[in-house]
Every structure is written in structure tokens, then in C-alpha cells.
Amino acid sequence: MLSAAKKEFIEFMMSADVLRFGDFVTKSGRNTPYFVNTGNYKTGLQSAKLGDFYAAFIQETIGDQFDAMFGPAYKGIPLVTTTAGALARNYKIDKPYFFNRKEVKDHGEGGNTVGYQPKDGDRVIIIEDVITAGTAIRETMPILKGCADVNVTDMFISVNRCEVGKTPGKTAVMEVAEEFGIKVHALITVKDIYEYLKEQGTYDSILKSMETYMEQYCIFE
């Protein structure tokens, strides 16, 4: 059964043209009938609302049990910024945030991160959009460990696509948990999207494509 919060988030993503249906290719090269592109959020209201969704989810999942938030470039940058603002505004959880540059800056203060400078022992949470094959997190961890001896405890994403990663029989989320000890929390999963579309009763062809895709690539715990 879909919760009201999940339904609201799915409708929010669809209204912003962030959750789209059709023929797409994921970063891992898979042809998919649905795609999540957080780069399509482009208004102040959308950004503020997105931060509210993430902040509410973080607050109910881990509260203030972390030291800093990290947003991987590029899409994680606006996500971590709006989430940090919403946590402070809505829950009085005022935590520092930082993000990385794709190119190392060789002038001014230099370095390849912007914002908070993490310290050894800091508990860092990652704010991201989706995990498909776990490629982005494998690129992110060396950046974080290069800043300080941080403890990356949790990762918050919009959608868990529940897709098999590099290891047969395991999703990318399971691999991330085993490889890095990171708990991944998703506002919604592909199953939630499927259930939502089914409830609407007007998405028969998309549902068929999703069933085929999920059968091929998805693993549900």
C-alpha cells in the first residue's frame, strides 16, 4: 500500500517532468521505460519543495545523528543545498554541507571541494538523486576519503531503481551497503512507481514495459 507521502512525491516528480516515461538509456547503458532526471527541477518552488521532502525523510530516518551533508557534483549540489536549508528551517537541524568540483581548482583556496571542510571522524551523509548501478557512489567515496577520515553512514536518494549491480543477485544498493557500509534510504522505489501507475488505471503500455524491465534487471528484497 502506497503511503500518502510517497504518492505526493511521485506526483511532484511527474509534475516537474523529472519522472518521465518512454525510451531512455541509463548511465549504466540499460534501455529503460522510465527515467528520473533531477536536472529538470528548475523553479524556486520546486527546489524548496524538494528540500522539504528530503528533510522530512532525513528527520524521520536519522534525525540529527550526523555531522555534515555531501552532494556529489553535479546533481547532488542543488539537492544538498535545498535539503540543508529545509532541515534548518523546518526542524532546527542546522548542519554544514559541502560538494565537490568536477575539476580541481588551481587558484584561490584551491582544492576539489566547496563548503564545509570535513574533519577526521565526521559522520557524513550523502544526498543524491538515484542509484542505478552504483557507479556514482564508487566515484564519490575516494573524494570523501581524500578530504578526511570521515565515516559515511547513510545516503538519501529520490528513487531506488532496485536494479542488479555488478554482482548477479545483488542490487546496487545492496552492493553499496556491503562494500562501503552505507545504508541507502530512498523516498520511493520502482515498485512504488509501478503501484502508483497501476492505481491510476491509464498506464497499461508503460506498466507492461516496466514489468519486462523489472523482470530483467530488478531484485526485490
Q: Which of 27, 105, 119, 208 is catalytic?
A: 105
CA distance 115 to 41: 22
CA distances from 123 to 64, 98, 107 (A): 11, 13, 29
Nine cell digits for residue 106:
588551481
CA distance 176 to 182: 6
Cβ within 8 Å of residue 111, ≥6 positions away: 104, 105
| Residue 7 backbone phi and psi in degrees, to 5 | -60, -45
- Reported in sequence order, the residue ranges of 80-199 that DSSP labels E, i.e. its strands, are 97-105, 111-115, 123-127, 130-131, 151-160, 183-189
- 107 included as an active-site residue: yes
Selection from 153, 155, 210, 149 nearest residue 185 by Cα: 155
- 105 included as an active-site residue: yes
Supply the residues annotated as catalytic: 105, 107
